[in-house]
């Protein structure tokens, strides 16, 4: 799909799921599906909307969002260059952690977004999005900043920007992890280029047989 087709597919997906009777819909002000460039190389996935996000219907617009914008700018991108979403699309009451059954209820919505966007690289922000894509049993303190491959996708788990607002020592850690993004993207693109070249060579060799 091209960019326009992806935009239309996301609008349709968000409209479909926005009408469903999801667990947290009745206690939220707005749904927060996510926003950004649907044809991006980088997809960021956080946990759930907070107070500011619930009021505006946009992801990462509070203090943590400002820090995320700074981190994105630090690697040469703008917010509109990437796509930002959350596991949960409605704010949990009092900003509590999402419950397992809530995560499962919203799972198809996020999985649909991931499938449409097809970003080269997915950055999970915080424990819940890390477990959503990598499964349980991982410790973010041990694997943050380390690229993982799951189901053909490259995923880098990172701390949530909000954590760095409470713990100043995590700011340089997050900045260092973000600094790896351009290098990982370069490796992914180089790998895809090699795969494409191999495919062309195989097609040529198959033609030569006839």
Please write the tens of the pLDDT for every residue from 12-71.
999 999 999 999 999 999 999 999 999 999 999 999 999 999 999 999 999 999 999 999
CB 47 within 8 A of CB 86: yes
Q: Kindly report the average pLDDT of the chain as a whole number.
A: 93
Q: How many domains does the chain have?
A: 1
End-to-end CA distance of the chain: 33
Domain carrying residue 123? 3-208
Q: 3-state class of 114 per DSSP?
A: helix
Checking if the pLDDT of 209 tops 50, the result is no
- CATH number of the CATH domain containing 193: 3.40.470.10
35/52 Cα distance (integer angstroms): 15
Judging by DSSP bridges, how do beta strands 42-46 and 153-158 pair with one another?
A: unpaired
139: which residues sit within 8 A by CB, 6+ positions away?
none
Q: What is the model's pTM?
A: 0.91
Q: What share of the chain is helix, strand, coil (3-state, %, to 5)?
A: 55, 10, 35
Lowest-pLDDT choice from 15-19, 56-60, 173-177, 193-197: 193-197
Please write the tens of the pLDDT for every residue from 95-107.
999 999 999 999 9
Angle (CA) 169 129 125, round 5°: 30
Checking if the pLDDT of 194 tops 50, the result is yes
């Amino acid at each position: 799909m091209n960019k326009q087709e992806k935009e239309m597919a996301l609008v349709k997906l968000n409209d479909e799921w926005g009408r469903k009777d999801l667990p947290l819909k009745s206690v939220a002000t707005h749904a927060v599906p996510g926003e950004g460039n649907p044809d991006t190389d980088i997809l960021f996935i956080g946990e759930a909307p907070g107070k500011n996000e619930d009021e505006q219907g946009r992801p990462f617009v509070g203090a943590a969002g400002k820090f995320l914008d700074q981190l994105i700018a630090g690697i040469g991108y703008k917010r509109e260059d990437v796509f930002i979403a959350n596991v949960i699309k409605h704010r949990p009451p009092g900003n509590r952690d999402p419950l397992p059954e809530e995560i499962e209820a919203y799972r198809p919505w996020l999985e649909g977004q991931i499938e449409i966007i097809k970003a080269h690289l997915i950055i999970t922000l915080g424990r819940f999005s890390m477990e959503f894509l990598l499964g349980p049993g991982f410790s973010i303190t041990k694997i943050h900043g380390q690229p993982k491959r799951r189901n053909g996708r490259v995923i880098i788990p990172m701390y949530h920007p909000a954590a760095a607002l409470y713990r100043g020592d995590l700011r340089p850690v997050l900045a260092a992890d973000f600094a790896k993004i351009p290098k990982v993207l370069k490796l992914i693109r180089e790998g895809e280029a090699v795969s494409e070249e191999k495919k062309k060579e195989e097609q040529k060799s198959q033609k030569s047989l006839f």
